[in-house]
Amino acid sequence: MAKKSRSTAEALPTPSAPAEEAAANESTESTESTESTETKMTQDTSVNTTPVAEDVALVTASQETALAAPQSALSLARELASRLPARYREDVLFLKRPSSEDLFNTVMGLPADWQERMMEIVRKTNPKKQGAHTQRAGFSPIELRLYQGTGTDPVRPAKMAPGGFYTADSRELGDKFVGAVIGYYEGRILWPPRDQKTNTGGEGGSSKMPLCVSLDRMEGSKYGACASCPMASKPYNQGGCNREVVVWLIDQEMTGVYELRFSKSSEAAGNALTKILQKSENLWDRWFTFETQERTEKDRRWFVVKVTPVSDPKKPELNNTPKAVHPLFESLSKVLDADVYYPRLADTYDRSKNSSDSSVNGGGVAAADTFNEQELLGNGAGTGDDIDL
């Protein structure tokens, strides 16, 4: 089977500056995620299908851009802090979201071709329609999916070969790319049970929405405290919730800021990746290769994701991300904190407070009924037959 891949030779040119020091960890650590099409992570294909605007430019701070703060940093921090437990308030109150002027200056400090690519990222991460005056503004990463060869995902590019990555805005990335991580969190997700007679519910069934979501493995949106929830201790194949790692990354060619989920058997790959990241001073210090590999067992075939730190002993300076882009990566990471993670986390706690099933309110785990988590999960809420990450 012919498979498409992206060559690292097509990646961004290294700036004409002294070579970076070799990465401290030159090991060929790798992580693999395996998951058959029978037990794969489901995702909602109804998001990120809005046509993007044709023209976007980075402008001065007086004009709204896709990365412009939707409200003042201080008012945003206060509003979020009021909705979150005390353990988060210090971090939230001291959020340092870059202003639109700061971001503009950071982008203008990049080489010319990188400036153009960043402008394209801005267009993709906040598509807006002319006349859509009440459309929700703010930065949003693009969901990254893996095609397992089955399903009818309407955003999947036509005639795409199995085993490749594609995006929720219908772009094909091939079966291999290099990227840098700029953020992640460890959470939980609970799906409704599958009805074996009608083949509905559960992952891959007719119900596409999860029952409960946690963005910190401490509080669920429906059942409250994870520590007292019996679903948290049950295996996912016995009706329990799945642990997941959600990673935000930017590819080496700067085609977008992506959201990649690791759940079920792929959770181990996400956990191993985060352990590697913890060894670096910054999450974005190193490049990682993300690629897919085919697996077979009897008459079943599926694809796994392999994540490996880039390690070139002959050119060790290529293992690290160029320092010229570190200010940009740091700014994007702060934007993700302010515009994506903490608002989603606050939404989780709001839903928990208002849920009659919440264990923090003494309700325990009652008979579950599905509800729409699309807004809470952002690009992560999804349908499922094509996703196995």
Residue 8 lies in a domain: no
Question: How many secondary structure helices (H) and strands (E) does the chain include?
Answer: 9, 12
Q: Is the pTM of this model over 0.85?
A: no
Does 78 score more than 70 pLDDT?
yes
What is the domain count for the chain?
1
Top mean-pLDDT range of 128-132, 311-315, 359-363: 311-315
- Looking at per-residue pLDDT, the higher value among 206 and 194 belongs to 194
- Residue 234 lies inside a defined structural domain of this protein: yes
Choose the weakest-confidence range: 23-27, 46-50, 252-256, 303-307: 46-50
The residue type of 17 is: A
Residue 9 in domain: no
Would you tell me the crossing angle of helices 326-336 and 100-108 to the nearest 10 degrees? 160
Q: By percentage, how much of the chain surpasses pLDDT 90?
A: 38
What range does the domain containing 84 cover?
23-128+136-380
Q: Is residue 1 part of a domain?
A: no
Residue 235 has pLDDT above 50, yes or no: yes
Lowest-confidence region among 57-71, 221-235, 318-332: 57-71
Please check whether residue 389 lies inside any domain of the structure: no
pLDDT of residue 288: 95
The values of phi and psi at residue 119, to 5°, are -60, -35
| Distance (Å, whole) CA 94 – CA 91 | 5
Position 14 in a domain: no
d(CA 214, CA 188): 5
